Amino acid sequence: MPRHLPLGEAVPPPEGAVDLCNRFSWACARSSNRDGRLDDMLMMAHRVNRDVNRSVRPISDLKQYGREELWALPTPRGGDCEDYALRKKQILYASGVDPARLLLATVLDTNMSPHAVLVLRHETGDFVLDNLNNKLLGWAKTGYIFMRVQNPGAPHGWNMVLRGGVLDDGPTSSITKCVQPY
């Protein structure tokens, strides 16, 4: 299993993220080569993941905004999965982590439900910051099927992944044909 998510062909952004870069310039900032110590980065990411998970209440976009999908920062009412991921990315970016290391990703969770997470690209592998788990897990240990991820070199763009979960548990030719990025 590769340590880093394998990037496939370019694909459109998720529906709710189409104007993300216009609304939040930091969400699509290019590499700055401004990293601090890498061992501190993992500890900081763990702390940010835990703190955001504790401070944001879950609420759907439909209930909060009256629409199915809107990638936004959490409000005082709360947020949904991509709101958690965006807040974590915002904090880590403001803390000096190179934006090329902070990749938004869409997945199918272990119940095969659409979900969004933040991926921290580290030399030792890609780690997932997830509102469903306070632990920092390597992408392959989440049990999720990774559908698409921001391109680390061009974060306005997204790439297909189609790896992880049941796709990596054995023969996948028939499964892979049925799974499309959402």
Q: Where are the domains of the chain?
A: 10-178
Which pLDDT score, from 0 to 100, does residue 172 have? 42
| CB contact set of 43 (below 8 Å; sequence gap of 6+) | none
> How far apart are alpha carbons 33 and 35 in whole angstroms?
6
Which pLDDT score, from 0 to 100, does residue 38 have? 64
Per CATH, the architecture of 10-178 is what? Roll (3.10)
Which pLDDT score, from 0 to 100, does residue 176 have? 39
Run of H or E residues at 64: helix 61-65
Which pLDDT score, from 0 to 100, does residue 60 have? 96
Which pLDDT score, from 0 to 100, does residue 136 have? 95
pTM: 0.89
> How far apart are alpha carbons 168 and 63 in whole angstroms?
35
Which pLDDT score, from 0 to 100, does residue 2 have? 81
pLDDT tens, position by position, for the chain (182 residues)?
789 999 999 999 998 888 999 999 999 998 876 655 666 899 999 999 999 999 999 999 999 999 999 999 999 999 999 999 999 999 999 999 999 999 999 999 999 999 999 999 999 999 999 999 999 999 999 999 999 999 999 999 999 999 998 887 644 433 433 343 43
The neighbouring-strand residues paired with 108 are 114, 145
Do 44 and 96 meet the contact criterion of CB atoms below 8 Å apart? no
Residue type at 174 in one-letter notation:
S
Q: How many residues does the chain have?
A: 182
